[in-house]
């Protein structure tokens, strides 16, 4: 897998995280099937092994925390830093 495809996949996982964070925030949770469905739609890939890999990567990247099949907590997305040029 090339570097650019890894970056694209990372960006898509960020989009899924941001979508659910904006929808439910820190006080609510989503279900694992709902997360998997969103990943299938975002990646346009119906392969269950691929989707499971993306879920595991989201856990590794600390984007989600799976408590049970019906409780997946979304972690707050990292804020993008804007560098100001002060002269």
Percent helix / strand / coil, the chain, rounded to 5: 55, 10, 35
The whole-chain average pLDDT of the chain stands at 86
Which is higher by pLDDT, 76 or 87? 76
- The DSSP secondary-structure symbol of 68 reads E
Indicate if the pLDDT at residue 87 is higher than 50. Answer: no
Interval 33-49: pLDDT, tens: 999 999 999 999 999 99
CA 16 centroid distance within chain: 4
Q: So what's the pLDDT on residue 63?
A: 92
**Residues 61, 53: contact at Cβ < 8 Å?**
no
**3-state DSSP assignment of residue 29:** coil
The answer to whether the pTM exceeds 0.75 is yes
Query: Which residues, in sequence order, are CB contacts of 86 under 8 Å at separation 6+?
Result: none
Report the percent of the chain where pLDDT is more than 90.
54
């Amino acid at each position: 897998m090339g570097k650019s495809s890894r970056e694209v996949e990372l960006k898509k996982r960020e989009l899924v995280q941001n979508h659910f964070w904006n929808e439910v925030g820190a006080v609510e949770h989503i279900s694992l099937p709902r997360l998997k469905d969103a990943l299938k739609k975002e990646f346009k890939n119906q392969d269950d092994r691929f989707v499971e890999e993306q879920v595991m990567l989201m856990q590794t990247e600390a984007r989600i925390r799976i408590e049970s099949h019906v409780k997946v907590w979304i972690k707050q997305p990292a804020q993008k830093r804007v560098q100001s040029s002060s002269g």
